[in-house]
Structure 1
Amino acid sequence: MIMHQIKVVQALVSGALEGGRGTNGTAHPKQPEKALKLYEFEGSPFCRRVREVMTTLNLDYEVYPCPKGGQRYRNEMKKIGGRRQFPFLVDENTGTQLYESQDIIHHLFKHYGNSGKTPKKYSHYPKIPALAFAGTLANGARGVWVNKKILERPAPEHLLELWGFEASPYTRIVRAELTELELPFKFHNVAKERWQDQGLAVLRLKPGKYSPLPGGKREQVLKVMGDNIQVPYLVDPNTGKALFESAEIIKYLRKQYAA
């Protein structure tokens, strides 16, 4: 438990170094008809930029983890795109395949943003992602290397499903574990839509029973989770398992897919 809390603190510092990007998002996303597919790994600072924008736009997408030393999706993406470079976005709605993080960001705002234009804060990232790289180090470089215990295992039949948002420290820990285990999953962004959403599930700025923004995405998410919004939330359709707490999720993933 102590080690898990250390991981939480490291993930929290990692998010703080990026100025809280990947926390807030639109309540009314332009969700693509066909799922966006992102080949990436949690510890990459360039991939992190794209994930932050995905949360800002509150988009759901499929993740195919490509940790260093992994074979499953690194080989697959090379067959599709021709090289191993991350992140790699496949958008079947527009027939687009993109590698460079800045190009991906422009594409996302153009097709799924409200104005079709990339905001200035997202249009000129530095070539060397110093803050994001520092965030990766602060997070203990988790989500970078493959767990060698799973190299000979086939991928699960169905994508796991994870609800969270980029800057959530608890969600970050789970995403790192999914990356290291090369477990593909569908990520459902649950971005903060207004000031009443800020804070942990039990410590929100607005006390009392949680009430989502009417007509917002969180209102739909609440139907999945029950009487409150809490992330991370994992559903494994391969086993029928559904879990909330990050420590319990990691324990389950290791027992089910790495033991």
Structure 2
Amino acid sequence: MKLLNYSFRCLACLHQNAMNSWEIVHSYAEAACKTLRSHENPTPPASGDKQQVRIWSGKMAGALNLSSTLFLRQLPSTKTPKSSISIRATSRPSESSSTSVGTKENENVGFSSSFSPPPNFKPPEPKRFGVRPDKIFDVLGASLALVFRLGTGIFVSGYSASLVPKNEFPPDKYALEIAGFKVKETSKLGPRPTKPIEIYEFESCPFCRKVREIVAILDLDILFYPCPRNGPNFRPKVLQMGGKQQFPYMVDPNTGVSMYESDEIIKYLVQNYGDGNVPLSLSLGLLTTLTEGFAMIGRMGRGSIYKPSKLPPAPLEIWAYEGSPFCKLVREVLVELELPHLVHNCARGSPKRQELYEKAGHFQVPYLDDPNTGKAMLASHFPGRGSV
């Protein structure tokens, strides 16, 4: 415990410019250490008591994860008029997003009906796997998840790959090329929902990450409503809909089902849109929760605290997948700005890779399409460049 306390102090020193005072850092470190001390030689609750198991594992993951409260100054909460916000989008790739935003009041503090790209905006040419020098450590931090989660969320359900001679592969089809061969990738997907499933969550929550991994594996289109701390729009909406501010919270407009609890959401999704089996990496209980927490250590709570922004009339669309560190950096910004976004998950083996290839003439993620400004951007315009 002395070693852990010392580590917290060292890390706090590195980030002291972002804190009000050393006393605040010390108090948070002490609180985290007390949490760990209270779980020395821990004995988990009985497996039958799901609520107690969830609370206990959450405390352990939260204590082990370097939460943003240790390093980032919390923004003061801003009182905003209560409003009811509704944003809808279609998941059909051949159609443009159909959206609507409504409020009970004529004016919404974060809402703006006027959007335009920056003056003289011109997207650069895409570059695969390129990293800006000032973003190297960000990408490395986001890549820790690949180690702790053993690549969960990189491949879709039923993924398989085979090498095909380049001259035997259709030239208009997306595929990786290796030494004169094309990699033919296939998958076995379940039923597709007609409307995008809605999920309310935020980046640095281990329980939310579990759900993001399963929707990538199932290759589902998801309309995410970010709920960062102090967010004025969607946290109150979750409280209004479900009775408590707990995340993740899922709403399936296809069946009328809504629910809390990450494990229950995962079971629901695999039963309705998969083969009914929860992947092993998401069914290990406490071990899954702890590794999800460790996976986010490198980002130190990014994507957790609200930054004032303008709420757009329509959700942004982004082609991405949970296993990509490049996509992670972009989604952190979307969550902090509380921008609703429709994610077209396209992990390896996803047929949506071909759809993006046809749409953009090139496959590289993350790919952002903003219907509010009419601009679309390949991955090179983002901090980490992109992955394939």
Q: TM-score range by the shorter chain?
A: 0.7 to 0.9
In structure 1, distance between residues paired with 2:191 and 2:364: 23
In structure 1, distance between residues paired with 2:280 and 2:295: 22
- Is 1:218 the counterpart of 2:349? The answer is no
**Once the 2 structures are TM-superposed, how far is the Cα of residue 125 of structure 1 from its aligned partner?**
2.5
Counterpart mapping for 1:77-96 below 5 A: 77-96=238-257
Please point out which of 142, 151, 155 is paired with 1:20: 151
Partner of 1:233: 367
Q: Secondary structure at the match of 2:225?
A: strand
TM-score, normalised with respect to structure 1: 0.80
In structure 2, distance between residues paired with 1:15 and 1:244: 23
Q: Secondary structure at the match of 1:161?
A: strand
CA contact (8 A) 1:161 1:188 kept: yes
User: Identity of aligned pairs, percent?
Assistant: 37
Count of residues in Structure 1 that have an aligned counterpart in Structure 2: 223
RMSD: 2.0
Please point out which of 101, 109, 129 is paired with 2:289: 129
Please point out which of 196, 213, 237 is paired with 1:35: 196
Counterpart mapping for 1:74-113 below 5 A: 74-113=235-274
Q: Deviations over 1:190-223 (max 9, x none)?
A: 1101xxxxxxxxxxxxxxxxxxx8xx33222322
In structure 2, distance between residues paired with 1:98 and 1:106: 11
Q: Deviations over 1:71-107 (max 9, x none)?
A: 2110111111111000000011121111100000000
CA contact (8 A) 2:345 2:352 kept: no
- Is 1:243 the counterpart of 2:377? The answer is yes
Partner of 2:228: 67
**Once the 2 structures are TM-superposed, how far is the Cα of residue 141 of structure 1 from its aligned partner?**
1.4
**Once the 2 structures are TM-superposed, how far is the Cα of residue 250 of structure 1 from its aligned partner?**
5.8
CA contact (8 A) 1:43 1:144 kept: yes
In structure 1, distance between residues paired with 2:287 and 2:141: 25
Q: Deviations over 1:113-150 (max 9, x none)?
A: 0x233344433422782211122221221111111x33
- Is 1:185 the counterpart of 2:341? The answer is yes
Q: Which amino acid aligns with 1:183?
A: L
Q: Which amino acid aligns with 1:60?
A: D
Partner of 1:254: none
In structure 2, distance between residues paired with 1:73 and 1:9: 30
**Once the 2 structures are TM-superposed, how far is the Cα of residue 29 of structure 1 from its aligned partner?**
5.0
Structure 1 segments, 4+ long, off by >6 Å, are none
CA contact (8 A) 1:56 1:191 kept: yes
Partner of 2:278: 118
Distance verdict in 2 for CA 1:117–1:17, change over 3 Å: closer
- Is 1:49 the counterpart of 2:210? The answer is yes
